[in-house]
Structure 1
Amino acid sequence: MGVYIRPNTLSQALDALAERPYTPLAGGTDIYPAQANLAAWNRAPDLHVLDISALPDLQGIEETSGAWRLGALTTWTAAIESDLPVWFDGLRKAGRTVGGRQIQNRGTLAGNLCNASPAADGVPPLLALDCEVELASTAGRRRLPLSDFILGNRSTARRPDELLIALWIPKPRQAARSTFLKLGARNYLVISIAMVAATLEVHDGRVTAARLAVGSCSAAAQRLPDLEAALQDKPCDAALATTVEADHLSGLAPIDDVRGSADYRRDAALTLVRRALLDLVDAGSEMAA
Structure 2
Amino acid sequence: MSGYMRPETLDDALALLAQSGGRVAAGCTDLFPATAARALQGPVVDISRVAGLRGIARGDDGVRIGAATTWSDIVKADLPPACDMLKQAAREVGAAQIQNAGTLGGNICNASPAADGVPCLLALEAEVELASATGLRRMPLESFITGPRRTALKQGEVVTAIHLPHPALAGGSRFLKLGARRYLVISIAMVAVRLEVTDSTVSRVAMAVGSCSAVALRLPAVEAALIGRKANHTLPDCVDADAVADALSPLDDIRADAAYRTGAATELLRRAVADIASEGRAG
**Under TM normalisation by the shorter chain, which class is it?**
over 0.9
In the alignment, which residue of structure 1 is the partner of 2:194?
199
CA–CA distance in structure 1, aligned partners of residues 162 and 7 of structure 2: 21
* Structure 1 residue 212: Cα displacement: 0.3
1:28 paired to 2:24 = no
Structure 1 stretches of 4+ with a deviation exceeding 6 A read none
Unaligned runs of 5+ in 1: none
- Write the deviation string for residues 180-213 of structure 1: whole angstroms up to 9, x where unpaired: 0000011001110000000111211111210000
1:182 paired to 2:180 = no
In the alignment, which residue of structure 2 is the partner of 1:256?
252
CA–CA distance in structure 1, aligned partners of residues 168 and 17 of structure 2: 38
- Write the deviation string for residues 52-85 of structure 1: whole angstroms up to 9, x where unpaired: 0111121211011120000011100000111111
In the alignment, which residue of structure 2 is the partner of 1:172?
167
Unaligned runs of 5+ in 2: none
Aligned to 1:207, the other structure's residue is in SS state strand
* Structure 1 residue 174: Cα displacement: 8.0
CA–CA distance in structure 2, aligned partners of residues 74 and 222 of structure 1: 24
TM superposition score normalised by structure 2:
0.95
CA–CA distance in structure 2, aligned partners of residues 21 and 267 of structure 1: 44
Aligned ranges 1:9-28 → 2 under 5 Å: 9-28=9-28
Aligned to 1:8, the other structure's residue is in SS state coil
Aligned ranges 1:101-250 → 2 under 5 Å: 101-172=96-167, 175-249=170-244, 250=246
CA–CA distance in structure 2, aligned partners of residues 71 and 265 of structure 1: 33
Equivalent in 261, 268, 277 of residue 281 of structure 1: 277
Distance 1:132 1:256, change over 3 A: same
Contact persistence 1:75–1:106 (CA under 8 A): yes
* Structure 1 residue 23: Cα displacement: 1.0
- Write the deviation string for residues 15-46 of structure 1: whole angstroms up to 9, x where unpaired: 222234221101010111222xx127xxx772
CA–CA distance in structure 1, aligned partners of residues 3 and 78 of structure 2: 38
CA–CA distance in structure 2, aligned partners of residues 276 and 99 of structure 1: 22
Contact persistence 1:174–1:202 (CA under 8 A): no
Counterpart residue type for residue 215 of structure 2: A
**Number of residue pairs aligned between Structure 1 and Structure 2:** 282
Between the aligned residues of both structures, percent identity stands at 51
CA–CA distance in structure 1, aligned partners of residues 126 and 233 of structure 2: 28
In the alignment, which residue of structure 2 is the partner of 1:71?
66
* Structure 1 residue 262: Cα displacement: 1.1
In the alignment, which residue of structure 1 is the partner of 2:44?
49
Counterpart residue type for residue 8 of structure 1: E
* Structure 1 residue 234: Cα displacement: 1.7
Counterpart residue type for residue 268 of structure 2: L
CA–CA distance in structure 1, aligned partners of residues 220 and 17 of structure 2: 36
Contact persistence 2:82–2:172 (CA under 8 A): yes
Counterpart residue type for residue 116 of structure 1: A
Counterpart residue type for residue 262 of structure 2: R
Contact persistence 2:81–2:170 (CA under 8 A): no
Counterpart residue type for residue 242 of structure 1: D
Contact persistence 1:175–1:202 (CA under 8 A): no
In the alignment, which residue of structure 2 is the partner of 1:94?
89
Contact persistence 1:214–1:223 (CA under 8 A): yes
CA–CA distance in structure 2, aligned partners of residues 209 and 51 of structure 1: 40
1:39 paired to 2:34 = no
- Write the deviation string for residues 73-127 of structure 1: whole angstroms up to 9, x where unpaired: 1100000111111221100110111000000000001100000001000101111
Contact persistence 1:172–1:201 (CA under 8 A): no
Aligned to 1:248, the other structure's residue is in SS state helix
